Amino acid sequence: MQIEYVKGKIMEGRQSGFPRQYGPERSDHQPGIPLFPQEATRDLVVTFILVAMMFFLSAFVTPFLGPARGPQLSELIVPDWYLLFSWGLLKVADIFPQFTIGQGTPLKTEFSAAFWGDLLSGIPVIFLLILPFIDRGREARPAKAPVRSAFGLAFLIAWIFTSSLYSIREVVAQRWVSPNGAALIPDFTMKWFFIIPPVLVGLTSYIALRRLGYQPMRRWLVPYVAGLAAIVVAQSAWILFDPAGLGVEARPFTVEIAIALGIIAVPTVAVAAAVLLAPESTARKVSTWAGALGLIGFLAFYGGVAYLDQPRALGWVLSVLWPNMNTLVLIPMFAVLTAWLGTRRPYSTYEYLLNECYQCGKCHTVCPVTKVEDDALGGLNLVYNTFKKQHDGVPLWTCLACDACSAVCPLDIQYSDYILEERAKVHARMAADGGQRE
Amino acid sequence: MMETEYGPGRTIPHPVMFRVLDAEADDTTIPEIKVEHKSEYAYYPGCVDYYDVEMQFSHMNYGDTNHGIIFDSSIKLLRAVGIQPMILDRSFMKCCGHDQLWQGKVDIFERMRDYNTKIIKMLGVKTLVTSCAEGYRTFRLDYKLDGVRVVHITTFLYERGLRIPPQPETAKRIRVAFQDPCRSGRQMPIDPVYEEPRELVKRVDNADLVELKTFRADAQCCGVAQMMYCNDKTKGLTRKRMDEATEVDADYLLTACPKCLTHFGCLHHENRWQPGEERYTYKVMDITQFLAERLPGDYPTGSNVDTKRKEPPLPGRRG
């Protein structure tokens, strides 16, 4: 087939100029096959074939499934791993108030634990369904939409991770016990997992993503990190100095417990002080070192205690730390991590970023130069040809550096940085060859 | 060096202006600096004086595009908000180096940067106001001016609360469109200038702000950047952009970048070559000129403006 004929068919009925125009009266002309009816028909065919195969197999090749599971067969019943979150939500639902409305009417609704659990399991689905209608923003890049991304990550942590963990609370309570037989992670602590880690993850992601977009985040970092440090210090002080803080049985191991709490609290306080008082670059260094040393110290301490034939001491240290996991383990970790992410220098070099490119071609779609070039019908792709050093360097020098490509890039690649460096290289090469081209 | 299928026209053009500006960078001796008003607020006019000369030399502008008035208007506006800026005159400053950087001449850019940084530090500038989008980007991102706040003039006027007095009753309603320069918008990861010019235009009581088809971060480029690769192809982009202003029936097309003004003015001029075939009936001007025209009082006279002149400089080659 002749290439001109193909090009003619592709451009048929299309206006010259931008195929994709932004702004209030934007008219999208997206190339490709429409969803309805072409794609839908094909998908339905595939779906029906699969359903037919399933019916066939279930009718003629019936496997023996065995008796259904029940409390008589196994003590702990859990569904498959991908449904654990729903199981955990059902288990946690008894924290909600239980009441009945509309007693004696046809609309009687019983707000029991089962009802609340169903509701919680349904919320993610409902939320995902209505999300496109709530969020009409055009920004598709997670790094450029910090609020949305932070909510999403917090949601994943809350609904998927912690609720899955909570669904096996019996196993956790049974396996991990302190020397006096109490659960190391009590039910109370696990219930707080639904609140504390998601909030920490959400705030940390928000700060990190905003910083990625070159925002000065001091106003967020100072109260956040300082507040977390205050919580850690207060909790440690309460454990050590309040008579009710340490149990009677743990009291002989006060020194070990104090060292463990110090390893946790000192880096957190150091990072908070650095964020509060020192300039950003210093705070960055302090948070790097505090994080690394804190982690190494933490591991070395536990290794040392276990190695020095002090398993009893280790058990008692853990019995202090693990029930307070939300405050004593998660908060210091997130405080240091947030300070580290919130004081970093946002990237500006192109190598790392350009290699992230997955050739979605959005940049080519919006590039203004290709629309006025002779071979705009597919010959010249400014970004791609520059990257491959094709077209004798023409794409490199025709670029306007208007950054329309960077504005739509899903990976936020600053293409103009690349242009800057490449042009500088060409001039450096010419200078090395002994003179400028005229 | 290379034989392209496009011919030599597609390689870097070397207008006279760049020869002059590049040659300037070689001389790094600091001349005698005379500033009229010593102040912590400094205003850097950029290369606007060169543009008028270059555009007339290149036969691109016998029309009413006037770059020099950006300088006068900026001073007038800054005085209106109570600032008597120290003018970083081109007699002792060099070009900011934006074009040299983007043309790949990094060594020349670095010489200019080091020289300018030295002067700015020497004069004790705290706030550097620029009326040029490219200068804003370059001073903000490519220079290392620690302790100096670089700010675009529209941001500065907006912050200081510029008031435009009520226009006379007889003044008819005008529709004003604003072209977002790439350099002060999309290319600024910190403090992009989108809202401030629009807010300032809204303060003119007989002006209606209209948006072009593409605006803010999506705004289409004016067609030519860093004074390279200007030909009939890129003029098509300029035309497309100016047609957008025709579509929204604008009376004024404003921009905050002298380069956009140059290229719009060039096409504006070209389309008036034959009488009666005017494609563009609206006016193209810098936002500072638009605002300053709506303020009462004379244009002030800066240090590189004729002190005896009482009227705004005449447009085009007579200016």
Residues B77 and B80: their CA atoms lie apart, in Å, by 5
Helix then strand then coil, in percent of chain B rounded to 5, is: 40, 10, 50
Do B143 and B21 share a structural domain? yes
| Residue A10 pLDDT exceeds 70 | no
Residues A160 and A212: their CA atoms lie apart, in Å, by 26
Do A420 and A375 share a structural domain? yes
A92 near A194, Cβ under 8 Å? yes
CB atoms near residue A220 (< 10 Å): 17
Polymer length of chain B: 319
| pLDDT average, residue stretch B293-306 | 64
Q: Which of A232-241, A424-433, B184-193, B252-261 has the lowest mean pLDDT?
A: A424-433
Do B231 and B200 share a structural domain? yes
Residues A34 and B151: their CA atoms lie apart, in Å, by 48
Has residue B127 been placed in a domain? yes
What is the residue-wise DSSP string for B14-43?
--HHHHHHHHHHH---------SS--SEEE
Q: Where is pLDDT greater, at B31 or A411?
A: B31
* Cβ-defined contact of B213 to A398 (cutoff 8 Å): no
Residues of A in contact with B2 (CB under 8 A): 392-393
- Count up the domains in chain A and report the number: 2
Q: For A248-304, what is each residue's pLDDT tens digit? A: 888 888 888 999 999 999 999 999 999 999 988 899 999 999 999 999 999 999 888
Closest residue of A to B187, CA-based?
A403
Do A311 and A415 share a structural domain? no
Do A364 and A239 share a structural domain? no
Query: Which of the residues A139, A372, A409, A417 would you substitute to probe the B interface, choosing the one with the greatest number of B C-beta atoms within 10 Å?
Result: A372
Across the strands, what pairs with B208? B175
Has residue A294 been placed in a domain? yes
CB atoms near residue B216 (< 10 Å): 17
Do A400 and A326 share a structural domain? no
Do A370 and A323 share a structural domain? no
Helix A311-321 and helix A254-277: axis angle, to 10°?
Answer: 50
- Nearest Cα to Cα of residue A144 among A322, A410, A400, A401: A410
* Cβ-defined contact of A346 to B189 (cutoff 8 Å): yes
Closest residue of B to A216, CA-based?
B190
Q: For A26-65, what is each residue's pLDDT tens digit? A: 444 455 677 788 889 999 999 999 999 999 998 998 877 7
Has residue B313 been placed in a domain? no
Burial B117-130 (b: 16+ CB within 10 A, else e): bebbeebebebbbb
Do A308 and A408 share a structural domain? no
Do A324 and A383 share a structural domain? no
Q: CB contact, 8 Å: A407 with chain B?
A: yes
B140 near B128, Cβ under 8 Å? no
| Residue B62 pLDDT exceeds 60 | no
Has residue A409 been placed in a domain? yes
Do B41 and B157 share a structural domain? yes
ipTM, interface predicted TM-score of the complex? 0.75
Do A318 and A227 share a structural domain? yes
Do B149 and B98 share a structural domain? yes
Give the pLDDT of residue A248.
80
Do A319 and A252 share a structural domain? yes
Q: What is the DSSP letter of B164?
A: P
Alpha-carbon distance B290 to nearest alpha carbon in chain A (angstroms)? 25
Give the pLDDT of residue A118.
87
Has residue B310 been placed in a domain? no
Give the pLDDT of residue A94.
86
Q: Write down which residue in A326, A342, A358 finishes a domain.
A: A342
Q: Write down which residue in A287, A313, A342 finishes a domain.
A: A342
Phi, psi of B203 (to 5 degrees): -75, -15
Has residue A90 been placed in a domain? no
Has residue A384 been placed in a domain? yes
| Residue located via tokens 């609309």 | A107
Do B285 and B179 share a structural domain? yes
B313 near B66, Cβ under 8 Å? yes
Give the pLDDT of residue A274.
95
CB atoms near residue B67 (< 10 Å): 27
Across the strands, what pairs with B178? B254
Q: For A303-358, what is each residue's pLDDT tens digit? A: 888 787 666 788 888 888 888 999 999 999 999 999 999 998 765 445 556 666 77
Closest residue of A to B222, CA-based?
A402
Give the pLDDT of residue A375.
57
Closest residue of B to A436, CA-based?
B1
Phi, psi of B208 (to 5 degrees): -105, 125
Has residue B189 been placed in a domain? yes
Do B157 and B190 share a structural domain? no
| Residue located via tokens 């700060």 | A207
Q: Which of A108-112, A129-133, A223-227, B207-211 has the lowest mean pLDDT?
A: A129-133
Alpha-carbon distance B94 to nearest alpha carbon in chain A (angstroms)? 21
Do B199 and B136 share a structural domain? no
Q: Which of B25-34, B161-170, B266-275 has the lowest mean pLDDT?
A: B266-275
Do A203 and A311 share a structural domain? yes
Has residue A69 been placed in a domain? no
Do A299 and A178 share a structural domain? yes
Has residue A411 been placed in a domain? yes
- Count up the domains in chain B and report the number: 2
A253 near A293, Cβ under 8 Å? no
Do B194 and B157 share a structural domain? no
Q: What is the CATH number of the domain that holds B226?
A: 3.40.50
Do A377 and A302 share a structural domain? no
Domain hosting B141: range is 17-26+35-161
Alpha-carbon distance A146 to nearest alpha carbon in chain B (angstroms)? 15
**B128: part of which helix (H) or strand (E)?**
strand B127-130
Which distant-in-sequence residues (6+ apart) come within 8 Å of A51 by Cβ? none
Domain hosting A275: range is 168-342
Of the candidates B3, B217, B221, which has its C-beta nearest A368's C-beta? B221
Q: Which of A33-47, A393-407, B250-264 has the lowest mean pLDDT?
A: A393-407
Q: Write down which residue in A342, A369, A394 finishes a domain.
A: A342
B87 near B36, Cβ under 8 Å? yes
